[in-house]
Amino acid sequence: MRSAPPAPSVPRPLYADATPEALAHGLATGWPAGGVLSVEAGAVFGAHAMGAETILRNLALLNVLWDGGEIAIDRRTKPSFQLHARRLSVGLMVQPETLWAFLGRAGNLPRGSGFLARFLFLIAWPSSTQGTRAYRPPPSTMSDVEKFDARIRDLLDQPLATNAQGGLTPHVLELSPEARRDWIAFHDAIEAELAPEGRFQDIRDVASKAAENVARLAALFHALQHGVHGEIGACDVQAALSLVDWHLSESARLLASLGVSPQMAAAIRLEDWLRTEARALNSDRVPTRHILQRGPNCIRLDESFRNALVILIERGRARLEQIGRRRYVAVNPWLLSGTL
């Protein structure tokens, strides 16, 4: 009896609402590269797979997928499978409250397991632009975006390099001598800042992966321009250095609010919001009614707002003022100038 031919590998580059095990199975038995891209990451952080009984196993599985490692998934009721030579990219947009809730449920597991160091490294926590988004007519053309889209399509049209088992056999890109010199200097500079009293002593887990991420980004920049051949140049490494350094600052800003009490975390978020809002209003005072209506959700209640404001007042970051019948929070001018 003839055996059935193997099923063709149908490209599936994107995933959205999928459990970590479903992701691993899809990559292991189907297309060997994929990405989880979601503008509503509550489906990822709030999923059943992140429940108390399964979170540690699934965080470990996601870490393996990020590292491009190997793992065997053994199951009793379904076929087992091996995860080998697969790659996963993750890009998520999440509301702060959703992320806070996930970290509150998970406790120290995301950071202790290395999940945050991997998946919250290239993070951006931009200030809200609400209230400043005046209408602007759309441009007639977006030539740079069109060129970028065309280049990405060209890269996607190129066949994947795979082995007989369907696993990836990636091309190896070397650093040029100048690029290697710059990368080593950055690696050593970051290492020095991991020491006590160093710039990154509080985010050692994240910063320790900075040099690795520089290499990843530099390789992507090179591939975007030149394909998967040749040496990675110093200009690509320098561009990656700039991005990683900025994201390190963002990571520090975010993680600073995770290891403190809820009241202190609320104060940190209130301060960040006040700074942005005061600049948008072109004033160093923000009405308290405005704060309670439009500020971060964590301080919308009077009591939580008062507790956060007391912390800012005690530290000289803001003060409460009353003009007539209206109350304001006055932001320290040095805070607005960026020197505090």
Residue 167 lies in a domain: no
pLDDT, residue 49, reads: 59
pLDDT at 191 over 60: yes
pLDDT band at 168 (very low <50, low <70, confident <90, very high): very high
What 3-state class would DSSP assign to 73?
A: strand
Q: Phi, psi (5° rounding) for residue 253?
A: -65, -40
Query: Of 238, 258, 278, which closes a domain?
Result: 258
CA 125 to chain centre: 9
Higher pLDDT, 106 or 122: 122
Q: Two tokens at 181?
A: 């010199």
Query: Encoding tokens for residue 117?
Result: 């160091």
Q: Which residue range is the domain that position 267 belongs to?
A: 262-336
* Average pLDDT rounded to a whole number, residues 138-149: 93
Looking at residue 111, its pLDDT comes to 81
283-319 pLDDT, tens digit each: 999 999 999 988 887 788 888 898 999 999 988 889 9
What's the rounded mean pLDDT across residues 273-291? 89
The phi-psi region of residue 131 (left if phi > 0; otherwise alpha if psi is between -120 and 50; otherwise beta) is: left
Quote the pTM value: 0.75
Query: What is the C-alpha separation between 232 and 219, in angstroms, rounded?
Result: 6
In this structure, is residue 145 part of a structural domain? no
Q: Do 300 and 252 share a domain, yes or no?
A: no
Query: Same domain for 96 and 35?
Result: yes
Q: Is residue 105 situated within a structural domain?
A: yes
Is the CB of residue 236 less than 8 Å from the CB of residue 218? yes
- pLDDT, residue 72, reads 84
Query: Is 29 contained in some domain?
Result: yes
**56, 37, 294, 300: CA torsion to nearest 10:** -10
Let me know whether 321 and 269 are in one domain.
Answer: yes
Which domain CATH number covers 269? 1.10.10.580
Residues 23 and 115 in one domain: yes
State pLDDT tens for residues 67-107: 888 888 877 777 888 888 999 888 888 877 777 777 777 77
Whether 243 and 287 share a structural domain: no
Question: Considering only CA atoms, which of 254, 259, 260, 255 is closest in space to residue 307?
Answer: 260
Question: Both 206 and 266 in a single domain?
Answer: no
- Which is nearest to 232 in space by CA: 216, 241, 242, 219? 219
Residue-level pLDDT at 98: 76
d(CA 20, CA 90): 12
Over residues 16-26, the mean pLDDT reads 82
**Which carries the bigger pLDDT value, residue 202 or residue 326?**
326
pLDDT for 238 beyond 90: yes
Given 258, 273, 295, the domain boundary residue is: 258
Q: Are residues 251 and 267 in the same domain?
A: no
pLDDT at 184: 98
pLDDT given for residue 23 in this prediction: 86
**Do 81 and 26 share a domain, yes or no?**
yes
For all residues of the chain together, what is the average pLDDT? 86
Report pLDDT for 47.
59
Residue 191 lies in a domain: yes
* Residues across the chain: 340
User: Do 250 and 267 reside in the same domain of the chain?
Assistant: no
Distance of alpha carbon 275 from alpha carbon 49, whole angstroms:
37
CA angle 235, 241, 243 (to 5 degrees): 110
Q: Determine the 3-state secondary structure of 89 from DSSP.
A: strand
- In the chain, the number of structural domains is 3
Residue 163 lies in a domain: no
Q: List, for residues 239-266, the tens digit of each pLDDT value.
A: 999 999 999 988 888 877 666 667 777 8
195 within domain boundaries:
yes
Q: Is residue 8 part of a domain?
A: no
pLDDT tens digits for 40-55?
776 567 655 566 667 8
Residue 97 to residue 45: CA distance in whole angstroms? 11
Q: Is the pLDDT of residue 338 over 60?
A: no
Strands 81-83 and 71-73: antiparallel
In terms of average pLDDT, the best of 18-22, 96-100, 101-105, 187-191 is 187-191
Question: Which tokens belong to 144?
Answer: 């740079």
- Among 233, 258, 283, where does a domain finish? 258
Shared-domain flag, residues 242 and 277: no
Structure tokens at 222: 């090179």
Least confident of 5-9, 194-198, 233-237: 5-9
How far, in whole angstroms, is CA 156 from its chain's centroid? 24
Residue 253 burial (CB < 10 Å; 0-12/13-18/19+)? middle
Assign 82 to helix, strand or coil. strand
